[in-house]
Amino acid sequence: MRYLIATARSGSTSLQKYLSKLMPLEGVRKILIHRVPDMYQNDTAKRYLKVIQSVENEYYNDMFDYGDELLTQYPNSFILDRKDKVAQSESLAFRKMKYEDNFSNYHIKEFYNDFDNEYMKGCLYNFTKQSDVLKKLSKKHNKQILYYEDIFQSSAPDILVESNMYSESLYNIYLNSKGKSRLLEIPKKKLI
């Protein structure tokens, strides 16, 4: 078993599917680092989840402890993040505002430019903190962080080739940037 420890809106679902097909005998399970199971949360951190800001450091310590245990037990696991925190935050803010927690709609490619800026800033803050946790895990476990931009926005996914994790046919099915990039303009309707 391997784990893909990731931040939300980082391409983790597509990468998890790709890795599962690439390594069918091992199995790859996706873990979003902000979803810390209760067993890793002390009472202070549980109160944080109810939006009590003063215990923030405890919550991030719990994320680190959770990731640390996963990487200790499953050292062949992966870490995935995103470099462009603003785009990541805008993506989450838009989907949270439009779909709330209906995650089945989070993978629809659609144009967006309408989201709450304050909510987006909160997302940006949290994603930055989560990235700090992933960097600490990377350093402690000597693991390279895979980045969305290097996998999905590159014509040649060097990071996958260098890591001996590249299959052109699977890449074209699950990771090719066609269809994965953000729509920056409203699609024009075609007349038949």
Quote the DSSP letter at residue 189: P
Partners of residue 72 on adjacent β-strands: none
Supply the pLDDT for residue 188.
63
Fold topology of 2-83+130-174: Rossmann fold (3.40.50)
Indicate the burial class of 97 (C-beta count within 10 angstroms; 0-12, 13-18, 19 or more).
Answer: middle
The continuous run of DSSP H or E covering 95 comes out as helix 85-99
Each residue of 11-55: pLDDT tens digit? Answer: 899 999 999 999 998 889 998 888 766 554 555 444 333 333 333
Q: How far is CA 90 from CA 16, 34, 39, 51, in A?
A: 22, 17, 31, 21
Question: d(Cα 59, Cα 54) in Å, to the nearest integer?
Answer: 10
Model confidence at 10: pLDDT above 60:
yes
Partners of residue 6 on adjacent β-strands: 32, 80
Each residue of 85-120: pLDDT tens digit? Answer: 998 888 888 888 777 777 676 666 666 667 778 888
Give the Cβ contact number of residue 69 at 10 Å: 12
Question: d(Cα 186, Cα 177) in Å, to the nearest integer?
Answer: 19
Each residue of 137-191: pLDDT tens digit? Answer: 999 999 999 999 998 877 667 888 888 888 888 888 888 866 555 545 555 666 6
